Amino acid sequence: MERYLDDRTYKIPSGCGVVGIMNTKGNLFSGDSIIVSICNMLERGNGLGSGFAGYGIYPEYKDFYCFHIMYEKESVINTVEEYIQKNFKVVYKEPIPSKFVKSLKFIPILFRYFLKPREEMVIIKSIDEKEDVENDFVVNNVMFINKNINSAFVFSSGKNMGIFKGVGNPDEIAEFFKINEYKGYIWTAHNRFPTNSVAWWGGAHPFGILDWSVIHNGEISSYGINRRYLENFSYYCTLSTDTEVIAYLFDLLVRKHKLSYEYASRILSSPFWSQIERENFNKKDFYTKLRIIYGPALLNGPFAVIVANTKVMMGLNDRTKLRPLVAGQKNDMLYIASEESAIRCISKDLDKIWMPGAGNPVIGRLKD
């Protein structure tokens, strides 16, 4: 009798599954699609971490920052809430809605807070700088909580978006957080196979800061130098997983330093020096300066990442494409995933499907 292996028992070491779906017109769609897509790659994980990020999911509170916080101890909740109330006006708070899933263990206490920075805590000199000043204020507060208050971690902090993650298979995490009940215009999901870092709820993907979310397949061997470089700009890694640096690097390069996504990709997945030497004078000079200025931001190691914020979804490979990444398009829908099958299972009749080259970003932008 022929024996078939169940997806849950067949594993791909260092596989990890990543998938992103975007409606470029901003039309909302259910979380069902992202669940089906990531669960088509169950064999890429080992049950030690999964997660989702959704954009457009909080329309009634779209103008407020939403902190998703996990508490490992009930005794620390008052400490965190007192700190938050000193710095923010709490518009609304509640436990993150969830459903009992028997297979999930060691579940932290999960709350979400919709917040507005207190005016007296944020010094704004002109209306033009209001958003940047408030964003910096939020980043500083997230870093303080995660670094200084034991057993409390802010794992999502953007507007009109949220990250939901934990230790379990993607179908279990989706059921626990009721992902199918949300609607968004961008969804990303991750199925984890950790190889050199701990498996815990805070260490699952996506990682985020402000409205950035990052999911990653691979290993960042440059984590040490990336982390020390980020500390110069007051970003601190506290979640014991190498992917955390990618979220902070995107915030630094794109939001703070105002670089384009294309330039940021040339920094994080920089061409080899031999490739730069073959460019014409202007490109050679420009890429050389990028490498000199942003050398510590270069990501070494095999990686395929999907990065999103409220306006953009981007896929990026390492400069030798050591991890798989496929992109597809159908009308206003953009799909990026580890496997073509994860796209075809939710959109069979595609207008276009392709494999992005090493270091070449796939960028989907909101049309309005």
End-to-end Cα distance, the chain = 57
pLDDT of 325 strictly over 90 = yes
pLDDT of 366 strictly over 50 = yes
Q: What is the mean pLDDT of residues 316-342?
A: 96
Span 44-53, pLDDT tens digits: 998 889 999 9
Q: What is the DSSP string of 312-364?
A: EEEEEE-TT--S--EEEEETTEEEEESSHHHHHTT-SS-SEEE-PPTT--EEE
Residue 349's CB is within 10 A of a number of other CB atoms, namely 6
In this structure, of 8-22, 283-297, 345-359, the range with the lowest mean pLDDT score is: 8-22
pLDDT band (50, 70, 90) for residue 2: very low
pLDDT band (50, 70, 90) for residue 334: very high
In this structure, of 7-11, 132-136, 152-156, 191-195, the range with the lowest mean pLDDT score is: 7-11
Average pLDDT of the chain to the nearest whole number = 93
Q: What is the mean pLDDT of residues 211-221?
A: 95
The size of the chain, in residues, is: 368
Q: What is the mean pLDDT of residues 91-106?
A: 96
Q: Say which of 16, 39, 66, 237 is annotated catalytic.
A: 16
C-alpha torsion angle, residues 364, 315, 243, 293 (rounded to 10) = -90
| pLDDT of res. 141 | 98
Q: 16 an active-site residue? A: yes
Among the listed residues 269, 250, 247, 270, the one whose alpha carbon sits nearest the alpha carbon of residue 260? 250
pLDDT of 81 strictly over 90 = yes
pTM of this prediction?
Answer: 0.93
Residue 7's CB is within 10 A of a number of other CB atoms, namely 15
Phi/psi of residue 366, nearest 5 degrees: -65, 130
Domains of the chain: 17-217+304-365 (3.60.20.10)
| pLDDT of res. 249 | 98
pLDDT of 5 strictly over 50 = no
pLDDT of 6 strictly over 80 = no
